[in-house]
Amino acid sequence: MKCAVIVGMGFGGTRTARILAGQGFDVVLVDRNNYHLFQPLLYQVATAGLEQESIAYPVRAMARQWRGTRFHLAEVTGFDFAAREVVTDSGRIPYDYLVVGAGSVTNFFGNAAVERHAFDLKELTDAETLRNHILTAFERAVYEPDAAKRRALMTFVIVGGGPTGVEFAGALIELVRFVLAKDYPELSVQAARVVLVEATDRLLAAMPQELRSYTLERLRSMGVEVLLNARVVDADPERVAFDDGSIIPAHTLFWSAGVKAAPLAALLQVQQRPGGRIAVEPDLTLAGRPEVYVIGDMAYLEQDGAPLPMVAPVAMQMGLYAGRAILARERGTTLPPFRYRDKGSMATIGRSSAVASAYGMSFSGYSAWLVWLLLHLYYLIGFRNRIVVMLNWIWYYWFHERQVRLITERERGGE
């Protein structure tokens, strides 16, 4: 029985596993975490809308349903292509086929100060840490006698005008205005600031102009300060500095201005392309190694003259293709080259408001928001998770209340 090793249980890896399960392979699933994480909803954990557990699902629970698969909790430390083995911190795993889809990490573009002081959202613990920080900032503001410091504690700077930045800004301003305003009557919470910073002249650059304009107007009407053509160049625990010399006193900086391939990409020991990504052949294999597939955010593949974006739909389609390509090879056939089919993009701005673009059509407002809700529920793994998330959304819709306002760990040193 041939062995297929899948490294990374993200959107791509799980799709490959589903294709290969029950097809006569010994499928080994490898990840340093024992769960699949639904990253698009991490910002809702950070803004007290969802519990951490509701957007994660145990890999072993999935493997029970996929015949012929088994899970290996390990950190990959290298690849031995000559021996066809994956090297991990708990031993070597031999393979006949290897699929690598370890995702991406936040790209701070070499700005060490920003990287040291900014929050990001890539791991489950990141969301809990950020939620603790936001809520602790308001607790500290209650007892802060200095008005300027109190305002800085309630100022939140978000860098990056893509979907993550827009969604986080909308969720955070609603948390502040509708929930924390009631929790902290002794504070003038209406004076709190949520500042969204974008280095270019537009939000949601991949969307049509009318949706970009709608998003900008909607965020500003909600109370978000949107700064376009502004670039953050420095930061410390109490301020954020811009390229024009201006400074915003703020104790919270959230960074969503870019991603790069996970450090695991360097272990493949091949030349990396922009963003640390690995160039792949049209069938998603490494050049000269037809048994090794690289998928998702780690893979660099140009289509129609531009590299494919580092987004979940690309990873899912690549994962499905890699699984089918392996089956085809075992059956003595081949698949046509991989081609990504863009089904559209969307972003939620807040309660009852979203934007969506699909198949040449644009939607905004309540209808786009409903589509966003349904699609995210559909792609969540686990019936319980879908129910819990749906109930949380219903509760918030009717009562403007978020139940997960928990500080689970106190910050040290008052920072």
Per-residue model confidence as pLDDT tens digits over 21-49? 999 999 999 999 999 999 999 999 999 99
**Which residue in 51, 167, 174, 198 is the catalytic one?**
167
What mean pLDDT do residues 176-205 have? Answer: 95
Per-residue pLDDT tens digits for 349-371: 999 999 999 888 899 999 999 99
Does 123 qualify as catalytic in the annotation? Answer: no
pLDDT at 328 over 70: yes
DSSP strand E in 67-221: where?
69-73, 76-80, 85-88, 91-94, 97-100, 104-106, 155-159, 193-197
| Under 8 Å between Cβ of 392 and 49 | yes
Q: pTM score > 0.75 for this model?
A: yes
Per-residue pLDDT tens digits for 264-299: 999 999 999 999 999 999 999 999 999 999 999 999
Per-residue pLDDT tens digits for 108-160: 999 999 999 999 999 999 999 999 999 999 999 999 999 999 999 999 999 99
Average pLDDT, the chain: 96
Structural domains for the chain? 3-32+74-106+259-330 (3.50.50.60), 112-257 (3.50.50.100)
pLDDT at 412: 67
pLDDT at 359: 84
pLDDT at 414 over 70: no
Alpha-carbon gap, residue 170 to 50, rounded angstroms:
15
pLDDT at 185 over 90: yes
Per-residue pLDDT tens digits for 3-14: 999 999 999 999
pLDDT band at 400 (very low <50, low <70, confident <90, very high): confident
* Contacts of 338-345 spanning 24+ positions with Cβ under 8 A: 338/282, 338/283, 338/284, 338/301, 339/303, 340/303, 340/308, 340/313, 340/314, 341/317, 342/313, 343/313, 345/163, 345/206, 345/207, 345/311
pLDDT at 190: 84
pLDDT at 415: 46
Percentage of the chain lying above the pLDDT 90 cut: 95
